[in-house]
A and B are shown apart, each in its own frame.
Chain A
Amino acid sequence: MGRVRDLRTVGVEPGMTLRATGDGLAIPDARLTIDPARAHVWDPGLPRDARLRSNRASTDRLVVAAEVARVLAAGRAPSAGFGPLLVADGHGDPWLDAARVRIERQVAALADRDVEAAVEPAVGLIGLGTGLTPSGDDYLVGLLAGLEASGDRSWAPLARAIAAAAPSRTTAIGAAMLVHAARGEYTERLHDVLIALADGRSRGLAAAVGRAMAYGATSGADTLVGVFAAVRVATSGRARAAA
């Protein structure tokens, strides 16, 4: 069976009742049963092939892959949220200016391996921006995922600080998302972006970036800004260590 993109194509309409049947789920009005015995179990933790490796050759490749991904994302960047940051645009917009200052301070602190100094700008990004999940929240999810993928140990204490601050600083949905990210739980779209970055081939990058950017009105773009910030941290640190 192929992918079902729209449940209406299998007869499911908004408002129908979903019943637990004991060994599965059923939507009687659509004559649909969902049998978990045949379901794939999906783990929100980062898969092994999403790890960004850390020798010098792969760092060079990662820098190139991230730039390709950024250009791909910039081509479809929304004008709202942090999208303009993908194209180094939006100067003079008070939200983007606030975001840009905090992101740069955070990236500089993380590149210096100063997690403590990275916490304050991270907390300042929680709840920053418009929308259902404010752009700052989406950015931080991308950042945490990217840091974890690159094996950067700063991600765990930073994640704990973000999870502790989130409930009082953002929307209920944004806070829930950040708490999950702090546990290392991310969306499949985000896994795919990191897998594509680790692999580095442009076809995979185009597909993964396309799917990520299609998520939400600006959330996908905001998340990618965070991933690219994490790649900057990872590659700048390694470049210095190798020098």
Chain B
Amino acid sequence: MTLVTRGAVHKNSYRDSVELMGIAAQIEALEGIQRAGLVMATPANLGVVAAAGLADAVPAGAGSNDLIVVVAAADEAVADAAIARAAALLAAGGDGGGGSGEGASEAPAAQTLGEGVAELPDANLALISTPGTYAAAEALRALKLGLNVLLFSDNVSIEDEIRLKTLADERGLLVMGPDCGTAIVADVP
């Protein structure tokens, strides 16, 4: 089978490795996708991408401060859909650098939980995936906004976990995690 490769570049975009790995795993799980990678386009990473047979997917001009998405897929439609899905997932994570990849949304994404709730008044669940040091504060904010919490982050102290779950219990909300792993909620992984 001949594989189709595709790539997109997100200029000056910084993400933590857990978020990138999570998105890559979601893309690789799509039907027809054989390989997917989301990495900073450093020479060392481009070497690994090339060794994995994805050199053709690397967009021209991508540099060390740019995030690239590369996929190998069964056909063009699947490859394009995967690139678009990755762009959407990056945007949903709060794009700091302005995604310029194919399919990236031009609308400004919500930057805070408050803005997110304003956009989606019926939202009842927040997924928190920040470094552990910041996760408790974000989870607390989500609970105060009346949201259930899926706390993907690890390295949250036991004291913070108790505080969060006590508050959730008082408010009839659910805190899953910390270090919750992934879940499929309403068909969205």
Contacts and interface: CB of A to CB of B under 8 A. Distances in A.
Contacts of B39: 95, 129-130, 134
User: Counting chain B CB atoms within 10 Å of each CB, which of A8, A81, A170, A217 scores highest?
Assistant: A217
A242 B157 CA distance: 44
Contacts of B40: 127, 130-131, 134, 170-171
B52 interface: yes
The DSSP consensus for interface residues of chain A is loop
B38 A94 contact: no
Nearest to B136: A6
A127 to B, nearest CB: 3
Given A6-B137, A214-B132, A171 B42 contact: yes
A135 to B, nearest CB: 7
Contacts of A79: 21
User: Counting chain B CB atoms within 10 Å of each CB, which of A130, A131, A170 scores highest?
Assistant: A130
A156 interface: no
A78 interface: yes
B48 A170 contact: no
A78 B18 contact: yes
A126 B40 CA distance: 12
Nearest to B133: A214
Interface stretch (B9-17, B72-80, B85-93, B98-106): B9-17
A94 B131 CA distance: 24
Contacts, number: 100
Interface string A168-188: 111111000000000000000
Contacts of A134: 39-40, 42, 44-45
A127 B51 CA distance: 16
Interface string A15-28: 00000000000000
Contact of B16 (A76, A136, A169, A217): A217
B99 to A, nearest CB: 17
Contacts of B133: 214-215
A236 B138 CA distance: 45
A130 B20 contact: yes
A125 interface: yes
Contacts of B161: none
B155 interface: yes
A8 B134 CA distance: 12
A204 B26 CA distance: 39
A98 interface: yes
A217 B19 contact: yes
A213 B64 contact: no
A94 B51 contact: yes
Contacts of A217: 16-19, 131
Q: Which 10 pairs from chain A and chain B are nearest by CB?
A: A127-B42, A131-B17, A128-B44, A217-B16, A130-B17, A217-B18, A80-B21, A214-B155, A127-B44, A80-B17
21 contacts: A76-B154, A78-B17, A80-B17, A80-B21, A95-B39, A95-B48, A98-B47, A98-B48, A126-B44, A128-B42, A128-B44, A129-B39, A129-B45, A130-B38, A132-B16, A170-B40, A170-B44, A217-B16, A217-B17, A217-B131, A218-B16
Interface of A: 6, 8, 76, 78-81, 94-95, 98, 124-132, 134-136, 168-173, 213-218
Given A76-B154, A130-B45, A134-B44, 12 more contacts: A6-B137, A98-B47, A126-B44, A127-B44, A128-B44, A129-B44, A131-B17, A131-B40, A170-B44, A171-B64, A214-B133, A215-B133
